[in-house]
Amino acid sequence: MKYISTRGNIAPIGFKDAVMMGLATDGGLILPESIPRIDRETLLAWCKLPYRELAFNIISLFADDIPKEDLKALIDRSYASFGHPETTPLVRKDGVYILELFHGPTLAFKDVALQLLGNLFEYLLKERGEKMNILGATSGDTGSAAIAGVRGRDNINIFILHPHLKTSPIQALQMTSVLDANVHNIAVEGTFDDCQDIVKTLFNDLPFKKEYALGAVNSINWARVLAQVVYYFYAWGRLPEQQEVVFSVPTGNFGDIFAGYLAKRMGLPIEKLLLATNENNILSRFVASGDYSLGQVVQTVSPSMDIQLASNLERYLFYLFDENPERVRNAFAELQQTGRIVFSEAEVKRVQSEFLSCTVDEKQTLETIASFNRETGYILDPHTAVGVRGALECLPGGASVICLATAHPAKFGEAVEKAIGFPPPLPPQLAALEGLETRCEVMDADREKVKRFLQERA
Ligand SMILES: Cc1ncc(COP(=O)(O)O)c(C=O)c1O
């Protein structure tokens, strides 16, 4: 399998190079040259496979330059860290299915991808005799999942910046209580934007980036998308009947839902993908009317989806534009100049043939957490609640719908308590964080200081 860029200016590369490249060197995103099709017979044969076997069958189609035994071992190791025997169990509640993606080490769906990415990085760096310094900014959630993915691994250091005292106390502890020597937390006296600015500036310092082999773990890495494709197949196989389904996906960066789009293109019988956003609804506007114009980010109770620029949308646009990289380049130039991308009527129709969309505001999110809990006893996290609300409200009656549960409710305990009147029970991993020893460098929002800190520890 070869990989290309949405912007059309890299020579085709193999899977291993695609993982190491992250963002394509021409500024685009990496995609496979072709998408394998899985016939119905194979789909049915895969139906009841254990998660890791299914993951191997799917990932090996795309990662054909890693010996099979090695890939199997990498996948086994990645999902051994999950606390549920099914890895991503499917449960039925109140007429909808909930796909629980939060049984990994940090109780968020990001673990599914970042556990695999950490193992892949370690494997590839060893093979190449190279080292990597991962640098990233987090508003809370991605940082802990990235740290959990690479803690204690050979040839990798990780430097994660978070805004000092502006994440939830649990999120901060999930990062700072990791004491492995290769993990470096920096609490910046400033906002998340300050953290991100520092990281961006250091990545743009090309000699520094090269000398210190800076690496990223954000959702533009192809391996992250690929790992997420697996659970769409897994969920479908766990349904009592293998019929067409709708997946409802709480969306911010378009990464998770793009994995569903790939699964659909691979032949999984997905009738529609329901794209559910909070008030930061540029993506649901795009689906509803083709309006892709940037607005201001507003803060909500589902903070991990408080995003305007959805970086993974570019991957979908490549297909929407009939795999024409020039049209992709023009669209992003237009976005930069005018703050919007204009789509033709035919393009909007095509989007609507594949996606449904809805916007769920804060009041509706909290109401959904409360009513779902009253009716089923089940506690949704605010991100999951956005998708569940979408499913209950926007779907034609009778459709089978699987809602992706992207975080454990205890990670967003304050919002959940506001909705149901009591805090969600803390799972043992989170309860155990209380009182643990922590390590973290508090620092001014000063990129030179961050740079020096990294240089001294790389
Ligand atoms: C808990 C949670 N739910 C949903 C999302 C949205 O996923 P995506 O950004 O891939 O659309 C995120 C993203 O960070 C998240 O952390």
Of 68, 93, 110, 418, the catalytic one is 110
CA dihedral over 54, 59, 64, 66, signed as positive or negative: negative
Which residues, other chains included, contact 409 with Cβ-Cβ below 8 Å and sequence gap of 6+? 369, 379, 380, 381, 384, 416, 424
Q: Is 407 in the pocket of ligand 1 (CB under 6 A)?
A: yes
Alpha carbon of 126 to ligand 1 centroid (Å) = 31
3-state class (DSSP) for residue 146: helix
- Cβ(145) – ligand 1 distance below 6 Å: no
Please give the DSSP secondary-structure letter assigned to residue 341: E
Residue for token digits 């690479």?
A: 150
- Determine the residue of 101, 217, 251 to mutate for testing ligand 1's pocket, defined as the one with the most ligand atoms within 8 A of the Cβ atom: 251
The answer to whether residues 356 and 274 touch, using CB atoms and an 8 Å cutoff, is: yes
**Angle, in degrees to the nearest 10, between helices 141-150 and 169-176:** 20
Q: How far apart are CA 304 and CA 193, in angstroms?
A: 14
pLDDT in tens, 58-90: 999 999 999 999 999 999 999 999 999 999 999
Atom of ligand 1 nearest to the CA of 108: 1
pLDDT tens, residue by residue, 361-392: 999 999 999 999 999 999 999 999 999 999 99
Say yes or no: CB of residue 176 within 6 Å of ligand 1.
no
In tens, the pLDDT along 25-45 reads: 898 999 999 999 999 999 999
CA of 207 to the centre of ligand 1 (A): 32
Q: Any residues with CB less than 8 A from the CB of 86 and at least 6 apart, and which?
A: 51
Copy the structure tokens of residue 219.
């959702």
| Token code pair at residue 59 | 């990932």
383 within ligand 1 shell (Cβ under 6 A): yes
Distance (Å, rounded) from C-alpha 80 to C-alpha 115? 10
pLDDT for position 396: 60
110 is catalytic: yes
User: Strand 340-341 to strand 292-293: parallel, antiparallel, or no bridges (unpaired)?
Assistant: antiparallel
Considering only CA atoms, which residue is closest to atom 16 of ligand 1?
A: 304
Beta strands (DSSP E) in 327-372 are: 340-341, 355-359
Cα separations in angstroms, 199 against 311, 336, 448? 16, 21, 11
Which atom, in ligand 1's list, is nearest to the CA of 384? 3
Q: How many whole angstroms from 448 Cα to the centroid of ligand 1?
A: 31
What separation in Å is there between the alpha carbon of 253 and the centre of ligand 1?
A: 7
Closest CA to 74 of 50, 56, 87, 101: 56
DSSP state of 104: S
The torsion region of residue 198 among left (phi > 0), alpha (psi -120 to 50) and beta comes to alpha
Q: Determine if ligand 1 sits within 6 Å of the CB of residue 141.
A: yes
Single pTM value for the model: 0.96
Divide the 458 residues of the chain into consecutive groups of 10 and give the mean pLDDT of each group: 97 96 91 98 97 98 98 98 97 93 97 97 97 92 95 97 90 96 97 88 91 89 97 97 96 96 98 96 96 91 88 96 98 95 97 97 98 97 97 80 97 96 95 94 96 96
Tokens found for residue 264: 């659909």
Within 13 Å, how many C-alpha atoms sit on residue 49's CB side?
Answer: 18
* Ligand 1, atom nearest to 381 Cα: 1
- pLDDT for the residue numbered 377: 97
Of 184, 185, 182, whose CA–CA distance to 157 is shortest?
A: 182
pLDDT of residue 219: 79
pLDDT confidence of residue 397:
67
Residue 92 Cα to ligand 1 middle (Å): 22
Q: What is the pLDDT of residues 194-217, one digit of tens each?
A: 998 899 899 889 899 999 999 988
d(CA 50, CA 72): 13
> Which atom, in ligand 1's list, is nearest to the CA of 307?
9
Half-sphere exposure of residue 422: CA atoms within 13 angstroms, side-chain side: 7
List phi, psi (to 5°) of 227.
Answer: -60, -30
What the block records as the tokens of 14 is 């193999």
Count the neighbouring beta carbons within 10 Å of the beta carbon of residue 8: 17
Beta strands in 182-291 (DSSP E): 183-189, 214-215, 245-250, 270-277
Q: State the first-to-last Cα distance of the chain, in angstroms, to the nearest integer.
A: 34
